[in-house]
Amino acid sequence: MAKERSRSTTGGRPAQITLADIEREGRRMGLTALTVGGVASALGVTPTALYRHVDGKLGLERLVGESVLAEFVLVDDPGQDAPRYLLSLAHQLRAFALAEPGITAYLQTFFPRGESGARLQREAIESLGRRGYDPAVGAMLSGTVAQLAISLTAAEQRHLPADDNGPLSRELENAEEVLESDAVLATAHGGLPNITEEDYFRMVMTACIRGLTDTATPGRPALEVLIDLGLYDQG
């Protein structure tokens, strides 16, 4: 953490800030509402003072996002085989993302964006290495599972406000009416059970992981796995 202090003036008084100050206020504001102006205002300085420490909005997001990710402890049960480990990885990502608003968007921008993200990716690759996978295949498996898990969780988070009586709730009711008023759609959906978001998440992740691990067996070369998964058009 940088110790250099930045000086600005608010109301005629000098104000000093550090990266630790910016990180603290950024965490308090949260990734969803995070802005350079908002953090600067909370610290009593001008946005220019922040730019001496962070590279604009993306730099501020990286500072706060990596701070949030640093608290994510990835649990690896050595008794789990590769498919069960990957499913556990997906569920752990989902639980963490649901508890940390804005982290899904941060993860979807670029990954890894800093040491905390690199640590998580490194730990997943090493976990799969202990299960017989070389680093390249481990990166492909964990990266694919993580990306799908984060995308599904981001979609789930967009549905969460539907529990209130606002516009999104009314839009949900409208969508349900559309399904019920269409004979084909009503029959098709009527044959499916009602499932929770978590059930759906587990089902989709299980299907993905089974397909990946059936092809990517321990010890198989990465290029061979990728070709078998459709990397190149086989005509």
Q: What is the token pair recorded at 223?
A: 């290029």
Pairing, β 6-10 against β 13-17: antiparallel
Q: Is 101 helix (H, G, I), strand (E, B) or coil?
A: coil
Domain limits, the chain: 6-69, 82-228
Give the Cα separation of 103 and 166 in Å (integer). 24
Please state the separation of Cα 136 from the chain's center in Å.
Answer: 21
Task: Give pLDDT, residue 235.
Answer: 60
Q: Could you give the residue ranges of the DSSP H alpha helices within the chain?
A: 19-29, 36-43, 47-51, 56-69, 82-99, 103-109, 115-129, 135-159, 167-181, 183-190, 197-215, 222-228
Interval 154-183 mean pLDDT: 78
Q: How far apart are CA 47 and CA 10, in angstroms?
A: 12
Mean pLDDT over the full length of the chain: 90
> Which amino acid type is present at position 234?
Q
pLDDT at 209: 98
**What's the mean pLDDT in 197-205?**
97
Which is nearest to 82 in space by CA: 120, 149, 132?
132
CA atoms within 13 A of residue 121's CA, in its CB half-sphere: 18
CB 149, CB 203: distance < 8 Å: no
Best CATH choice for the domain 6-69 from the list 3.30.70, 2.60.40, 1.10.150, 1.10.10: 1.10.10
Condensed to tens digits (0 to 9), the pLDDT of residues 98-122 reads 999 999 999 999 899 999 999 999 9
pLDDT digits (tens, 9 = 90+) for 34-62: 999 999 999 999 999 999 999 999 999 99
CATH class of 82-228: mainly alpha
DSSP 113-130: -SHHHHHHHHHHHHHHHT
**Comparison of pLDDT for 62 and 173, the residue scoring more:** 62
pTM of the prediction? 0.86
Burial string for 88-116 (b: 16+ CB within 10 Å, else e) reads bbbebbbebbbebebbbbbbeeebebbeb
Residue 164 has pLDDT above 50, yes or no: yes
